[in-house]
Structure 1
């Protein structure tokens, strides 16, 4: 009987060690998988949910996350679309922890330029905040280059006509904090 108890105890200890090793391996694999996640994947798992973002320029925006691109995200806020370049993000507040799939194909290659070109094509009136200014600029995007945009500054609510343009502001993409538009970003 003593031998049976000894063997049972040894078997129990062996089982405990094997379980601990298995749990350790699972935790290590999980950490490895999490280390490969990107911000875009994390954000794409929140599409359709309410999120709050704070930016390098000090803005705080809360809305429904509608789209995530390779270099930007778009929020629906009270009938407006707010585009935030990912480099301008300081923090994101989200209630869920879901993670989406990595962007693939052309989606993974399209940056901020195509979004801005769509707004320019639609002649959408936009409010633009840059990372170093307290107040936004209002106007219509006249031109979008590979890494900059030109914003024709006009009075809010006016159409973009040559006589209404006060000046044209050239803004590097790297300086964009947020961009708001009445047009939706699709």
Structure 2
């Protein structure tokens, strides 16, 4: 009888140690898996959900995450689409626990230039917000290069009226904080 109690006690200790070891291994594997997760993968798990976005240029947006590219996100905000380069993201609020999946195929090739080329093709009226110093320029995208965008703008004269001339501004992608475009 005494031996049975001893063996039962040893068996309980072994089961407890095994369970503890398994839990520790699961936690370690989870941490390792999370360490490989990229921001794009994390954002892919949030598409269609409300998201708060703060940018390096001081913009604060609240809307629905609609698209994720390899270098940008699109957020639907009050009837317009706002494209935010990943490099301009400062803080994200409201991210659920979903991890998404790896960006692959066409999505992996959709850089910031691809998103801006769609706006250029559609001749969409946009507002470009820049980072440092924070400023905004409105107009129509004329050209999108590998790392810059040309925007045709109409100026304002000294009395605050629309000027007759048209100016073309070149903005490097690195200076972009966000791009607002009216929704179709």
TM value normalised by structure 1:
0.91
Answering whether residue 101 of structure 2 is matched by residue 101 of structure 1, we say yes
RMSD (Å), alpha carbons:
1.6
Q: Where has structure 1 moved over 6 Å in runs of 4 or more?
A: none
- 1:1-186, aligned counterparts within 5 Å? 1-154=1-154, 164-183=164-183
- Listed as ranges, the gaps of 5+ residues in structure 1 are 157-162
- Report deviation, 1:12: 0.6
Q: Structure 2 unaligned runs (5+)?
A: 157-162
Alpha carbons 1:46, 1:94 under 8 Å: kept: no
Using the alignment, how far apart are the partners of 1:165 and 1:16 within structure 2?
Answer: 79
User: 3-state DSSP class of the match of 2:133?
Assistant: coil
Conserved? CA contact 1:131–1:175, under 8 Å: yes
TM-superposed CA distance for 1:39, in Å, is 0.6
In 2, Cα distance between equivalents of 1:95 and 1:21: 31
Say which SS state the counterpart of residue 7 (structure 2) adopts. helix
Deviations 1:25-69 (A, max 9, x none): 101111111111111111111111110000111111110110011
- The 8 Å contact of residues 155 and 167 in structure 2, kept in 1 or not, is answered as no
Write the distance in 2 (CA, Å) between the matches of 1:131 and 1:122: 25
How many residues get paired? Answer: 178
Per-residue deviation at 1:2?
Answer: 1.2
**Map of 2:159 onto structure 1:** none
Alpha-carbon distance between aligned partners in 2 of 1:182 and 1:45, rounded to the nearest angstrom: 25
Q: Deviations for 1:59-84, whole angstroms, at most 9, x for unmatched residues? A: 11110110011110001111100000
Q: How far apart in 1 are the matches of 2:126 and 2:76? A: 14
Determine the structure 2 residue equivalent to 1:159.
none
Give how far 1:154 is off: 2.1
Report the Cα offset of residue 152 of structure 1: 1.1
Residue 160 of structure 1: aligned partner: none
Matched residue SS, 1:98: coil
What is the distance in 1 between the residues matched to 2:28 and 2:100?
21
